[in-house]
Structure 1
Amino acid sequence: MTTPAIDPGAAGRPEPPLPGTQVHDRHPLALALFALTAVSGLIDAVSYLGLGHVFTANMTGNVVVIAFALAGAPGFSVTGSVTSLAAFLLGAGLAGRLVARSAAPRRDRWLRTALLLEVALHGAAAAVVFAWGVTGSVQYAVIALLAVAMGIRNGAVRGLGVPDLTTTVLTLTLTGLAADSRPAGGAAPRQRRRILAVATMLAGAAPGAVLVLHGQTAWALVAGAVLAGATVLLYRE
């Protein structure tokens, strides 16, 4: 029977915690995730209002939109929604493969790589819109670029396991805010984090909507790329 090799320095050395298990609201990782939540709001404002009522970050909404389109509801596109869903799954699968190969305590380092890819894809989408607008088949290319970016980011963030900061959906966050509140008999854990997650989503979606409604879809995408890029530059592990 072979005896496994033992690291002589490992005996008294505690295992580093998984990222996200003890991340306070002012931790650099939490701050980065708040910023990315704002980017998600902005990107979904662009995709829903400017790309044919399609979500590229919130796949729950996108699945429902596909059902609306299949039922014949006006203003919804099966092709656009399926393109978004497929591209998102592609991005998430790529992220999952790369995160699985990373050592668990160092998975937050993959977040930086995921964000760089997101910045590049948002920038590419902005360039396409500047050059050709969002008409015809170009619209589907823009949807695919944004959805791949958001899938990559979601896969990376999921590997971090930070409670209430998925960066793209708020259903469980809002549920926890109400179900764990003191009026409901709870201790209101992470109340500030949950409120900030909602606030940052709103803070991203509102200017994104304003830009799209004023015909500035490309600049809205530039804003998303800049905010994601600033997050990369400012994030410190």
Structure 2
Amino acid sequence: MEITFLGTGTSQGVPVIGCHCNVCRSVDFRDKRLRVSVHLRVQGKSIIIDSGPDFRQQVLRERIDHLDALVFTHEHKDHTAGMDDIRAYNFRQQQDMPVYAEQRVLSQLRREYEYIFAEKKYPGVPQVNTIPILSDTNSFSVEGVEFQPIRALHYKLPVLGFRVGNFTYLTDANYLSPESLELMRGSEVIVLNALRHEKHISHFTLQEAVDILTDLAPRRGYLTHISHQLGRHREVETELPDFVRLAYDGLKITL
């Protein structure tokens, strides 16, 4: 499996519009963070989890010429706003795009992208095949690849992370139940969100994420959904345990 971090930033991205802090002014490419998304090449399939506002830029940068499926963690705009750009894959592949999400998320997509789901469609709109994720405990197949959902809370909003083989990816969360933690345990690589140092209403802090990773003890842990408030990449990494790193846009890992 090859995992590519398409984006590792929070909802505003980094740099933030109008901000002149030392992170937003950094010349380190690792401090330039697009909205959070990840690409998996697994079992011969190309799958993306979340298509935020920077989706087009991300897939062009990584030269992702083929996409077999799109999977959503939840319905917030920084995770769904790029869905219109799957049109290019429709045209290239001559087929509808399978889109996997919980029923609540699919309902939100139908409201926000009414033109995609209209009875009489304008020529050239994205073509999708929506597939509901019906359980937050039972695994499901994404084009033949087994996904194990991991339930979490993003403040009071239920969101999903996913375990695919020995890789677990979870973003936009500030609570994991003991049952969810056990589903993650044994993963070789775990990715968690770590927004900033200070407590936040809907995201793990750096220390909270590190504590979870320390308990679960994967061989490698990566942090994502990072805001400019966390600090500069090179400085934050000096504070981390050896097995935990900050993810950055374009980072590729293999399992």
TM-score by length of 1: 0.29
Which is greater in Rg?
Answer: 1
- Structure 1 or 2: larger helix share? 1
Q: Which has the higher contact order (CA 8 A, sep 6+)?
A: 1
- Structure 1 or 2: larger strand share? 2
